[in-house]
Amino acid sequence: MRVIAGSYKGRQLKTPTWAGLRPTSDKLRETMFNILAPRIAGARVLDAYAGTGAIGIEALSRGAASVTFVDRDRRALALVEANLARCGIANGYAIIRGSIERALETLDRSQPFDIMILDPPYDAATHLDAVLAAAGGALAADGVLVLEHRRRTRVPQAAGRLALARAVASGDSALAIYACRP
């Protein structure tokens, strides 16, 4: 696993040594960032279910102003910290240990995110409506939320103030891109 583009391009990232963590493939990450490219520079980004931190690190590499990493697994957050250190990233990020639901309750709503990326475990798709609705409350009016999911999982067409704007499939995975309703 590596950083695909930007100022940290080519940096190798550590991968998990335990079962149960499914890092986003380089190909799917590249597809995601090709879609997000016009929005990245100067953006406030949330990387929920951060895992290795590869998505948030890619955003920082491509010019995001800041990234907030959220994960409940201590091992995953240690991996995020190790990968940030490997890339020489010392600032421009925050790390929150806990569930995304809990993090969304405590985040400062006066500074909404421009981009939110949620990559939950594929078997945790049962509570997506509630998570998406809560996440919409922390998203800027012109922001986007990207949900990575198993291709065969049906995702909500709308949740809270979010509406599905685009869907992209890649192998067994897919991206659902949500925007705020007018």
State residue 58's pLDDT score. Answer: 96
The answer to whether residue 142 is domain-embedded is yes
State residue 126's pLDDT score. Answer: 59
CATH of residue 160: 3.40.50.150
Instruction: Between 164 and 123, name the one with better pLDDT.
Output: 164
The answer to whether residue 132 is domain-embedded is no
Lowest mean pLDDT across 75-89, 108-122, 160-174: 108-122
The answer to whether residue 43 is domain-embedded is yes
Residue 103 in tokens: 């993090």
State residue 66's pLDDT score. Answer: 97
Q: Is 6 left (phi over 0), alpha (psi -120 to 50) or beta?
A: left
The answer to whether residue 41 is domain-embedded is yes
The answer on pLDDT for 182 being more than 80 is no
The answer to whether residue 47 is domain-embedded is yes
The answer to whether residue 7 is domain-embedded is no
Rounded to the nearest 10 degrees, the angle between the axes of helix 26-40 and helix 54-61 is 40
State residue 21's pLDDT score. Answer: 64
Number of structural domains (the chain) is: 1
In angstroms and rounded to an integer, the radius of gyration of the C-alpha atoms of the chain is 15
Please, are residues 147 and 155 in contact by the beta-carbon 8 Å criterion? yes
State residue 109's pLDDT score. Answer: 77
The answer to whether residue 56 is domain-embedded is yes
Residue 109 in tokens: 């709503």
If we measure between CA atoms, which residue out of 136, 146, 132, 142 comes closest to residue 109? 136
pLDDT per position as a tens digit, 58-105: 999 999 999 999 999 999 999 999 999 999 999 999 999 999 999 998
Please, are residues 110 and 37 in contact by the beta-carbon 8 Å criterion? no
The answer to whether residue 52 is domain-embedded is yes
| Tokens 């940290």, located at residue | 8
What is the domain extent for residue 175?
A: 30-125+137-180
Q: Model confidence at 108, in pLDDT bands (50, 70, 90)?
A: confident
| Tokens 């959220």, located at residue | 70
